[in-house]
Amino acid sequence: MKIEETGIPDLLIVHPRVFEDERGYFYESYNKRTFHEHGLEYNFVQDNEALSSYGVLRGLHFQKDPYAQAKLVRVTEGKVLDVAVDLRRGSPTYGQHRSVELSEENKWQLMVPRGFAHGYVVLSERAVFCYKCDRYYEKSSEGGVMYNDPDLNIDWLIPNDQLIISAKDQQQSYFKEVDHNFTF
């Protein structure tokens, strides 16, 4: 397993070691011991999966402390553009984001620590998006950042008129106004 830094502290791309032969492939999508050897001390308690079609944009979501979640995300079918925004006040990359294409082909994963807003858009006909969380979902602590915030200037790679966005995600706060309690 290779761990790649993204330029934002603690936001990491995980490249699993994939073994392929005439039967198909095998890889470990998660190994607690290997993560600990890389200093990644997470105790995942919940796994989630979402099926979405082309143009569906989910995000940018987070949970406020004390329910903030770290997430290990991956795609098992299709392709998405995954985006994480650093919301940790005092971080040298506060307000910056990284975009990473995750797909069934590359099998990459993104380790999104607590203190980030997170979202993705489906680039393929459909995609199955899977993620592990280190804390349980708590509706009362959920928050979000507007997907098209001009200060973030995220290129979602899909024309606006082709995006499919929930009513909730169309009413999120802009980055400068977002209510959160994260520090670096």
**Which one, of 48, 20, 34, 163, lies nearest residue 105 by Cα?**
20
Residue 38: active-site member? no
Residue 131: active-site member? yes
Cα 50 to the chain's mean position, in Å?
13
CA distance 135 to 87: 18
Among the listed residues 61, 97, 118, 180, the single catalytic one is 61
Among the listed residues 42, 118, 120, 131, the single catalytic one is 131
CA distance 96 to 85: 6
- In the chain, the amino acid numbered 134 is D
List, by residue number, the catalytic residues.
61, 131
